[in-house]
A and B are shown apart, each in its own frame.
Chain A
């Protein structure tokens, strides 16, 4: 069992993250102080939550490019709602953000399921539509910190048992997904539908419906993150989380989620997101311009894809008896 783990994608990723931390720590030991690591995790939390949503979509052989636009739209809606009704309890805000996100995700899912439009086209379109809608409802104006109510801003930053709420939510989502993907019929269906759609039909699974559910769940997470994002940074405008969908996909790819569907684990994904998070937070510490970040994550994607492909390359059918023994 342990041997199998050592050879796995997760172990290699964990090694990469640890080496990265060690390299930074050699020159700046303070970076690996528990408090700072908690900071890094909190900073990476939105990425982790969103990437989990993207992960199940990719597992079912789809992709959601609208995930960041969904986040931004839900964030803006709750920000405007808060300005209009400052006394609204946070729980209502959470429900509105998550509910709206679910609807936006479900729209993607319905177009993919019922009209069988390729997911990349659907979400390319909804990405610009959702982003444009933010402009329409906000008239292009910013919602600034002073306009938001104190509880609205405080929620994601409240410290609970030493960690901010944002971090706790990320941990809760990770735990939920670990159970969802390994211990529920729906979770296994995500793998089955993406891994072998043909066989999934034989097993009595509805491929389109499973994809729809993946989009809806990803949308719910994007909506939830939308509020957390606006709460944490205490500002909402048209371009928040602009291009964040690429970071999310990068986290998935680095985390070993196969873009062809059906392959990947929650552990790998979290490590993939943390890898990007550590780089982002370490760059200023080691005195490298933050402008390096984009190129580094790009290079990491290319290397990760090449690596994943190499380890999963098929070597043809095993017909010879001698080959079967060796395999």
Chain B
């Protein structure tokens, strides 16, 4: 562990000491260390896939470490269950809201530790009163008796925060707490973090946003690819030093150079509307072009892409492919019209992980490999071999279940599946999320190659370097609408962030 800096006079309440966590095919954490001090906000910084979420799950008793030690007040501790972690005074506000739609707000806050009255029964009145107090303290105007399902996503997040505070915790973990919040709510959250600090609680703050980290954190710890890179006081570090530690190399070098000569228009979307998810989406896309879609999480980018791919249906709007009007009612229609979609959620939507690689690759192309509806395995293996080789897939055999592959190789299988259909437009939704650096570069190179071969690429990404490094043009979405389209010199991190967050427009 690094020597204690001046800013932290007290010993750590909670520490990870050389902790390792291994999953089939991936080493998620490799001997990482982390120390949290009372009355101190520690920012955990790292790219997607750096191992931040795994750390949260280890600290809250969801995962067990495969090596190393967890220390509470310097003493070794284990958290075999989530309850054990809570008993040790650790509470977390998770990235995904892990709440119960059918229970009331108060019950969600107090599930598992509700105040008891006579006969050991839950004291509903006391529970509602205490829940109201906590909600009031974070200035959330929510009735504790409301069923959770009636709340919007931001309100649910506030309930999750209230739940974390209801446990008299010594350590509060916040995993991307501002992702779904508005500007005003974020300011309120900062006040809340300050309040927790004053109460002497140790706060672990996980965030992508550097302005946020420099606004509220006292210390930082950086992870990269599941390894500890460094830690120290925020006052001693600059933003660019932090970026350098996080990425491990200069950002400009990793993206392939591309000749920019887009061809004819292949896709035009006009006035796509959905009752709740997005409104008035329109743009055009040309052959050989990479069009980036940037926005904060929950800006409606994936929802729109899924409508374009026929998963959901727009209430209004039209598309033209190669200047002909097309109606897409299902993914099968989309594939038939040359539009394919590589989803963000690989395990659930992208691949059928229990089926072998070759069957995944040929699934949408069975019409080509079969004869009058009957399978021809030799043809299937041939097709799978062709396309997986082009993507430099690493696997033991083509008969191996996709689930046994690493995230990056699973992604290659999904992309190979779509390339085998010879599409016109490929939509990549967060194509490098949660995959290792090596595969990331391979996916980027391959994207550039596809564009050079005349395929039109739409790339949804939340990583600014990726968006800027790969795209010819960038469309920024916020709250379900397109707020900006930038290209050329306008494509700077500042412009994207400003449009995505809606700064300077209110």
Contacts and interface: CB of A to CB of B under 8 A. Distances in A.
A and B directly contacting (CB within 8 A): yes
Interface centre among A182, A184, A204, A262 (most CB of B within 10 A): A204
B100 interface: yes
Nearest to B61: A204
A185 interface: yes
Contacts of B275: 315-316, 323
Interface string A292-327: 000000000000000000000001111111111001
B98 A203 contact: yes
A202 B82 contact: yes
B99 A201 contact: no
A316 B83 CA distance: 33
B99 A196 contact: yes
Interface stretch (A36-44, A146-154, A187-195): A187-195
A281 B278 CA distance: 53
A318 B103 CA distance: 20
Contacts of B298: 317, 319
A202 B60 contact: yes
A198 interface: yes
A192 B479 contact: no
A10 to B, nearest CB: 14
B277 A191 contact: no
User: Chain B's interface: helix, strand, loop or mixed, by majority?
Assistant: loop
Contact of A321 (B102, B277, B479): B479
B122 A184 contact: yes
B276 A317 contact: yes
A192 B60 contact: no
Interface in B7-63: 60-62
Interface residues of A, number: 33
Contacts of A84: none
A192 B113 CA distance: 14
Contacts of A114: none
A87 to B, nearest CB: 36
A22 interface: no
A185 B122 contact: yes
Contact of A204 (B83, B274, B277, B299): B83
B94 interface: yes
A327 B276 CA distance: 9
Contact of A319 (B61, B101, B103, B479): B479
Contact of A316 (B62, B86, B114, B312): B312
Contacts of A124: none
B152 interface: yes
B456 interface: no
B99 A204 contact: no
Given A319-B298, A323-B276, A206 B81 contact: yes
A94 interface: no
B100 A192 contact: yes
B122 A191 contact: no
A198 B100 CA distance: 10
User: Chain A at the B interface: mostly helix, strand, loop or mixed?
Assistant: helix
A191 B5 CA distance: 47
A313 to B, nearest CB: 12
B500 interface: no
A179 interface: yes
B107 interface: yes
B195 to A, nearest CB: 24
B65 interface: no
A201 B124 contact: no
Interface string B260-281: 0000000000000011111100
A129 interface: no
A261 B279 CA distance: 34
A201 B57 CA distance: 11
B82 A191 contact: no
Contacts of B312: 316
Contacts of B124: 182-183
B396 interface: no
B98 A188 contact: no
A263 interface: yes
B121 A183 contact: yes
A25 interface: no
A96 interface: no
Contacts of B276: 315-320, 323, 327
B279 A320 contact: yes
B14 to A, nearest CB: 18
A199 interface: yes
A187 to B, nearest CB: 8
B235 interface: no
A32 interface: no
Given A196-B99, A200-B100, 9 more contacts: A185-B112, A195-B103, A201-B82, A202-B98, A204-B61, A316-B275, A316-B276, A318-B153, A323-B275
Interface of B: 60-62, 81-83, 85-86, 92, 94, 98-103, 107, 111-112, 114, 120-122, 124, 152-153, 274-279, 298-300, 303, 312, 479-481
24 contacts: A183-B121, A184-B120, A185-B112, A185-B122, A191-B100, A195-B100, A195-B102, A196-B101, A199-B100, A202-B92, A202-B94, A202-B98, A203-B111, A204-B85, A206-B81, A262-B100, A316-B303, A317-B277, A318-B277, A319-B298, A320-B277, A320-B279, A320-B479, A320-B480
